[in-house]
Amino acid sequence: MSFVEYGDTIKEGDTAIVFLGHESMFPVKVQHGTVTQTKYGVIRHSMDLIGKKYGSKVTCSKGGWVFILHPTPELWTMNLPHRTQILYSTDIAIITMMLELKPGSVVCESGTGSGSLSHALIRTVAPTGHLYTVEFHQQRAEKAKEEFREHGVEHLVTVTNQDVCKNGFGVSNIADAVFLDIPSPWEAIGHAKSALKAEGGRICSFSPCIEQVQRTCLAMEEYGFTEINTLEILLRVYNVRTINLQIPDLGKAAEDNCSTAFDSSHPSNEGSPCANQQQGTVQFKSGVPLREMVGHTGYLTFATKS
């Protein structure tokens, strides 16, 4: 199993996603002799998982069932153990596009955190690219290495435990892009410039506060970066539902036309527009925004090395 290479069957040691519903799923490490408890009953790894195909419907001990899904960076973002605040798919999508990443790209990242963005970057640059990720916190760096190894992507990533603001990324003039998610990104702009290729490399800095953005933009300008711009991505979700709207008063002529051609007692006319009109309302499918939405997460500042 690998997060960048699809496998048909579930094997021991795989990380699989147990899908109970769109709002309920969790990762599990598949091991012989292990059981996993769910609200629908027990899943026995040896009997219910190993050797089965990904996407299979598995019946639990209480008679309920779940789906076992192959892991992807998107599913991992939704289910990973949080060691830090993470980036979600909304920001990740614009980051990978604006940094112009593709298979074969070399990317530097700091900090690694919980590895949400890291997995997406690895999948984007695979199979010939590479991610150099720097994490200041030793335990988080070691945990990230362990996860990359378990997820079959360790050959595509190098994890370094050091302070990027003092020691940089450990590479020079090879990166196509640099991503910064640290408290003081302006202190790492010089190291980012050194890590980027001779010209044309892209940089992105994620910061939750506008004061951080201001200082970062000044540092980018000082080091000769161009095309500096800042974005804020807000996600607004719509639910598709049926709503009832009152029929407008179109005058006597419209009523006469409907009543002439419509026999309400005939079964074939049930549910027709004229049937709804006589009831005074008509049904429509409509997109309705949620009453609450995710607000500000952070600002994304992009620039190009000239």
pLDDT tens, residue by residue, 226-248 = 999 999 999 888 889 888 888 87
Mean pLDDT of the chain: 91
What is the value of pTM for the model shown? 0.85
In the chain, domain spans: 9-71, 75-234+295-305
**Residue 236 pLDDT:** 87
CA dihedral 286, 290, 296, 301 (to 10 degrees): -20
Binding site listing for S-adenosyl-L-methionine: 114-117, 135, 163, 181
Q: Cα(88)–Cα(1) distance, rounded to whole angstroms? A: 23
Binding site listing: 114-117, 135, 163, 181
Domain 9-71 adopts which CATH fold? Vcp-like ATPase; Chain A, domain 2 (3.10.330)
> Which superfamily does 75-234+295-305 belong to?
Vaccinia Virus protein VP39 (3.40.50.150)
At 295, the pLDDT band (50, 70, 90 cuts) reads: confident
**Residue 306 pLDDT:** 87
Counting every residue written for the chain, the total comes to 306
At 162, the pLDDT band (50, 70, 90 cuts) reads: very high
Instruction: Answer yes or no: is pLDDT of 249 > 80.
Output: no
Task: Convert the pLDDT of each residue in 76-129 to its tens digit.
Answer: 999 999 999 999 999 999 999 999 999 999 999 999 999 999 999 999 999 999
